[in-house]
Amino acid sequence: MSLHTIVLVKQVPDTSNISGEVMRPDGTVNRARLPAIFNPEDQEALELALRLKDKHGGKVTALTMGPPNAANMLRECLYMGADRAILVSDRRFAAADTLATSYALHKAVHRIGKYDLIFGGRQAIDGDTAQVGPQTAEKLGIPQITYTLEVQELDLKKRTIRAKRAIKNGYEILESPLPVLLTVTKDAAEPRPFDVRRLCTYKRAQSRFEIEATVDDSHDLVWMDELLEKAKTSDLLIETWNIEDIDADVEMCGLAGSPTKVHKVENVILSGAEYKAVPATSEGMNDMIAELMRDHIFG
């Protein structure tokens, strides 16, 4: 049986490159000005999935829930080697917290059908919650291995996977039956570069939104269908699903399905006013280390 891996990916604002233009005068970040990038840990998750495909064959499907422009990241998945890209996008998904997001994703996974593995990044750099992977696994009723550092063995006959995961002060090795969801920590697998042949091919891959944008009023819906069909037959369609396509309950999606409410946003300003001189002696160093350990900054 051939291996089918689904990779959960997310397009995020590049929070690592916050420059002057992006900061508002009140100290908050203007997200619209930040470039959108492939969430780094999701890219590593895709790399791990592709390495398993290199070794065992099979298929990799990239799945995201996001705004229409997340198609850019899905194209990057295709450039790296994903076989199929799915964009779950609908205005009614907007403002989803992790619960509503994992709900929609698990519905999308149901629609995809059979799979052996699901990979995702540990967390996204915009929210840093690390909840969507685990919640999706729970909703799908499958085991999960979080903080994966390395896949050590995949046995398709026994249908098991062995992975090394990070824990505090070390690592542990877990074995799980398939299907299983794994979240991947950074530095697990340096993502491969784009394959230039795939790049020149899939630069033409388009989502339904993008195809719609090329159709003006003078065209009819039949024309649109023809374009979609053409993209599909030439393997250049980024499948685009809305709430109905994944058979989701509207009440459980977007803002309505999100119990998380932001109570208050506070600016934390770290002032450099206070400082403490540490004498440059072993004693001074030891005192400082002891103090940091007391404050649970170390250890």
Partner 1 sequence: MSNFFSENADIQFQFNRIDLSEIIQIREDDYKQAEQYSFAPRDYEDAKDNFKRILEVVGDIAGNFVAERAREVDELGSTFEDGVVTYAKGLQEAMIRLNQAGLMGFILERKYGGLNLPISIYIFAIEMVSRGDASLMNLFGLQDISETIENYGSEEIKAEFLPKFSTGEVTGAMVLTEPDAGSDLQAVKTRAYQDENGNWFLSGVKRFITNGNADVNLVLARSEEGTRDGRGLSLFVCYGDDTVQIRRIEHKLGIKGSPTCEMQFHDTPAQLIGQRKRGLVAYVMALMNGARLGVAAQALGIAQAAYVEARRYAQEREQFGKPILNFPAVADMLIKMKVDLESSRTLIYATARAVDMHKVSEMELERLKAANESFVEMKDQAKHWKAIADFLTPLSKYVISEKANRICYDAIQIHGGTGYMHEFNVERHYRDVRITNIYEGTSQLQVIAAIGGVIKGVFDEQFDAFEAHEYRHEARQLANKLKKIRVLMDKCKVHVLDKEDKAYQELHSAELVEMYGSIYVGYLILEEAAENSRKMLIAKKYIMDALATAMHHTESITRGFDTLFADVDQILTKE
Give the shortest CB-246-to-partner 1 separation in angstroms.
29
Residue nearer to partner 1 on the CB measure, 83 or 245: 83
Site for partner 1 in 194-213 (CB under 8 A): 194-201, 203
Residue nearer to partner 1 on the CB measure, 42 or 76: 76
In the structure encoding, which two tokens stand for residue 43, read together?
């890219």
Residue nearer to partner 1 on the CB measure, 54 or 138: 54
Residue nearer to partner 1 on the CB measure, 194 or 209: 194
What track of x and - describes contact with partner 1 for positions 227 through 266 (by CB under 8 A)?
A: -------xx-------------------------------
Closest of 86, 63, 32 to residue 140, by C-alpha: 63
Give the shortest CB-152-to-partner 1 separation in angstroms.
21
Which residue type, as a one-letter code, is found at position 68? P
Give the shortest CB-198-to-partner 1 separation in angstroms.
8
Residue 263 DSSP code = -
Q: Are 59 and 82 in contact (CB under 8 A)?
A: no
Q: What is the dihedral of CA 198, 201, 203, 207, to 10 degrees?
A: -100
> Whole-angstrom Cα distance, residue 221 to residue 52?
41
> Whole-angstrom Cα distance, residue 70 to residue 240?
11
Site for partner 1 in 168-197 (CB under 8 A): 192-197
Give the shortest CB-196-to-partner 1 separation in angstroms.
5
The size of the interface with partner 1 (CB under 8 A), counted in residues, is 13
The C-alpha angle with vertex 72 and arms to 212 and 179, in degrees rounded to 5, equals 105
Residue nearer to partner 1 on the CB measure, 110 or 204: 204
Q: Does 55 bind partner 1 (CB under 8 A)?
A: no
Q: What is the dihedral of CA 211, 217, 222, 223, to 10 degrees?
A: -50
By CB under 8 A, name the binding residues for partner 1.
192-201, 203, 234-235
